[in-house]
């Protein structure tokens, strides 16, 4: 009896509470569109925010309620867009696969450190300290703030600079947000020509600091048949809407600052 | 009548759950960013406190004490509180979805809000009568809301203040909370 009565009392309270809640749930029932849950399941649940919504669940409800395009999920890519379209019963929207790229090629062979930083191992911390420890103040610091936030484990460090593995990259853009030098951009995967330098120093200063830097000579601008490459702030940038990937700029570049990531 | 007023005001001011007893700090810091969600949270907590007291007092004196089961207080009280929190949640989801969204995870967290459990247990510990317990719960809830509303005003000012990088965010919020708490110390001795 010493055990029975307490058990009965607590159990009774529990059952009573359960019944009450069931009744309340029936009275205050809210219709939830079941497609939202299905779409949420089709999304990769990375909650990266690359689509412009607070998370996968938020994007899912925006698709159903506001008719937002289904192809905004970058980590999910064509796969997720196809599944979402199947759930909604619409034609699958085209997905341009995207990838992140680090616009710096200043590895250990090309440039040097000006001092040894022994503080917190973070690019942001080094950047605060005399604008970074590299000779070039615009290049990759190489302590891996980007790799730390990458949910796809796509960032490796080769010879002191970050390299992104296109096969693993989800193009969510988290790395681009944390890079203190803003070296990382998101670009279409099939456009394989990249300028791997972001130095805004003039040609002479860049040349002194780094052997792989873009000196802003504008030869690529003249050689490009499509007008897709232009020099601004002493380094070249590519307009991916116009670039056809012909490689004329790459061949013409006197400092070999333009590279192709095509295997 | 006089003693009821004293209980109400002391629960609100001198023994304010958040600022003097340091109970329920988590929603105090979490939901005080905006005035409307702070008020909503205050009303929800007050409602849960009142309902929980309404039910736990008879349970304690009617069922648990006659059977010598006072040691079950905590278990049963938590059960009752969880029930009312769930009830509030379903009601809010139906009636005020925007408030439901802005409260977020802090709404189910009322279940583990020690201020709510604190009210019900303190009622028993102080051997209040039923009426006194209800007044104490009301005062506790209103005091909680008062703290949240005052602090949401402070935080709005903080947002526009030029704070050194090191103190931005949580540190400045905690310092501001301690200063508000110090100001509530001014009420001590009001009813002694």
Taking contacts as CB-CB distances below 8 angstroms, the residues of chain A near B90 are 21, 24-25, 28
Q: Is the pLDDT of residue A263 over 50?
A: no
Q: Which of B75, B86, B93 sits opposite A10 (nearest CB)?
A: B75
Grade residue B20 by pLDDT with cuts at 50, 70 and 90. Answer: confident
Residues of B (37-76) whose Cβ lies below 8 Å from A:
59, 63-64, 67, 69, 72, 75-76
Statement: residue A3 has pLDDT above 90:
no
**Per-residue model confidence as pLDDT tens digits over B63-83:** 888 888 888 888 888 888 888
Neighbours of A6 (CB within 10 A): 18
User: Does A228 or A66 have the greater pLDDT score?
Assistant: A228
CB contacts of A14 in chain B (<8 Å) are: 79
Q: What is the pLDDT of residues A129-141, one digit of tens each?
A: 888 888 999 999 9
Residues in A touching B69 (Cβ below 8 Å):
5-6, 9
* CB contact B157 to A (< 8 Å): no
Partner residue facing B86 (CB), from A10, A14, A21: A21
Residue B192: pLDDT band with limits 50, 70, 90? low
CA distance A247 to A259: 9
Query: Which residues are CB-neighbours of A97 under 8 A, at least 6 positions away?
Result: A77, A78, A171, A188, A189, A190
Task: Return the residue of A nearest to B91 by Cα.
Answer: A28
CA distance, residue B150 to nearest chain A CA (Å): 29
pLDDT of the residue at A109: 87
Given a cut of 80, whether residue A94 has pLDDT beyond it is no
Number of H helices, E strands in chain A: 10, 8
What per-residue confidence (pLDDT) applies to B74?
A: 87
* C-alpha span between B55 and B185 (Å, rounded): 32
Question: Minimal Cα–Cα distance from A72 to chain B, Å?
Answer: 24
Tokens representing A253 are 């570049």
Chain A contact for B83 (CB, 8 A cutoff): yes
> Does the beta-carbon distance from A30 to B91 stay under 8 Å?
no
The number of beta carbons lying within 10 Å of the beta carbon of residue B143 is: 28
Can you tell me the distance from the alpha carbon of A71 to that of A3, in angstroms, rounded to the nearest whole number? Answer: 60
Instruction: Tell me how far apart the alpha carbons of residues B131 and B119 are, in angstroms, rounded to a whole number.
Output: 14
pLDDT class of B29 with cuts at 50, 70, 90 = confident
Contacts of B102 in chain A (CB under 8 A): none
pLDDT in tens, B142-190: 999 999 999 999 999 888 888 888 888 889 999 999 999 999 888 888 8
User: Is the confidence at residue A31, as pLDDT, over 80?
Assistant: no
Q: Measure CB to CB from residue A28 to each of B69, B80, B93 and give the nearest one.
A: B93
Instruction: For chain A, list residues whose CB is within 8 angstroms of any CB belonging to chain B.
Output: 5-6, 9-10, 13-14, 17, 20-21, 24-25, 28-30
Q: Flag whether pLDDT at A33 surpasses 50.
A: yes
> CA-CA distances (angstroms) from residue B161 to A206, B158, B169, B177, B183?
40, 5, 11, 16, 20
Chain B residue with Cα closest to A31: B94
Across the interface, whether the CB atoms of A28 and B91 are under 8 A apart is answered: yes
Query: Which chain B residue has the Cα nearest residue A10?
Result: B76
* Nearest CB partner across the interface for B87, out of A5, A21, A30: A21
Cβ within 8 Å, pair A14-B79:
yes
CB contact under 8 A, A20 and B90: no
In this prediction, residue B165 carries a pLDDT of 83
Share of chain A above pLDDT 90, in %: 14
Of B72, B75, B94, the CB nearest to A28: B94
Contact check, Cβ <8 Å, A21/B64: no
């Amino acid at each position: 009896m010493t055990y029975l009565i307490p058990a009965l009392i607590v159990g009774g309270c529990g059952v009573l509470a359960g019944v009450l809640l069931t009744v309340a749930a029936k009275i205050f029932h809210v219709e939830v569109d079941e497609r939202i849950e299905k779409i949420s399941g089709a999304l990769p649940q990375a909650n990266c925010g690359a689509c412009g919504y607070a998370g996968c669940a938020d994007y899912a409800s925006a698709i159903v309620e506001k008719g937002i395009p289904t192809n905004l999920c970058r980590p999910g890519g064509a796969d997720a867009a196809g599944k979402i379209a199947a759930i909604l019963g619409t034609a699958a929207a085209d997905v341009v696969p995207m990838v992140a790229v680090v616009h710096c090629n200043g590895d250990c062979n090309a440039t040097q450190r000006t001092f040894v930083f022994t503080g917190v191992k973070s690019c942001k911390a080094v950047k605060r300290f005399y604008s970074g420890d590299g000779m070039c103040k615009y290049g990759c610091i190489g302590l891996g703030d980007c790799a730390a936030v990458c949910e796809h484990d796509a960032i490796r460090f080769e010879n002191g600079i970050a390299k992104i593995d296109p096969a693993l990259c989800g193009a969510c853009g988290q790395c681009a947000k944390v890079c203190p030098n803003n070296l990382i951009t998101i670009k279409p995967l099939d456009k394989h020509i990249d300028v791997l330098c972001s130095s805004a120093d003039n040609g002479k200063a860049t040349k002194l600091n780094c052997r792989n830097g873009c000196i802003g000579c504008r030869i690529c601008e003249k050689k490009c048949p499509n007008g897709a490459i232009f020099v601004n702030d002493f380094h070249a940038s590519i307009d991916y809407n116009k670039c056809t990937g012909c490689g004329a700029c790459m061949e013409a570049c006197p400092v070999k600052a333009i590279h192709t990531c095509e295997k | 009548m006089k003693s009821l007023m004293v209980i109400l005001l002391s629960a609100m001011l001198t023994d304010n759950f958040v600022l003097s007893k340091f109970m329920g700090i988590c929603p105090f810091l979490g939901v005080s960013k905006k005035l409307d969600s702070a008020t909503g949270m205050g009303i929800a907590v007050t409602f849960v406190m009142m309902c929980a007291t309404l039910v736990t007092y008879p349970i304690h004196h009617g069922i648990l004490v006659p059977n010598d089961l006072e040691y079950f207080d905590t278990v049963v009280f938590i059960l009752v509180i969880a029930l009312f929190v769930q009830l509030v949640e379903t009601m809010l989801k139906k009636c005020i979805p925007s408030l439901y969204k802005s409260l977020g995870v802090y709404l189910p967290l009322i279940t583990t809000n020690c201020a709510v459990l604190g009210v019900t247990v303190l009622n028993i510990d102080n051997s209040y009568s039923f009426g006194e317990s209800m007044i104490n719960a009301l005062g506790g809830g209103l005091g909680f809301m008062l703290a949240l509303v005052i602090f949401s005003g402070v935080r709005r000012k903080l947002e526009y203040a030029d704070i050194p990088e090191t103190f931005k965010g949580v540190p400045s919020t905690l310092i501001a909370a301690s200063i508000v708490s110090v100001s509530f110390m001014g009420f001590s001795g009001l009813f002694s």
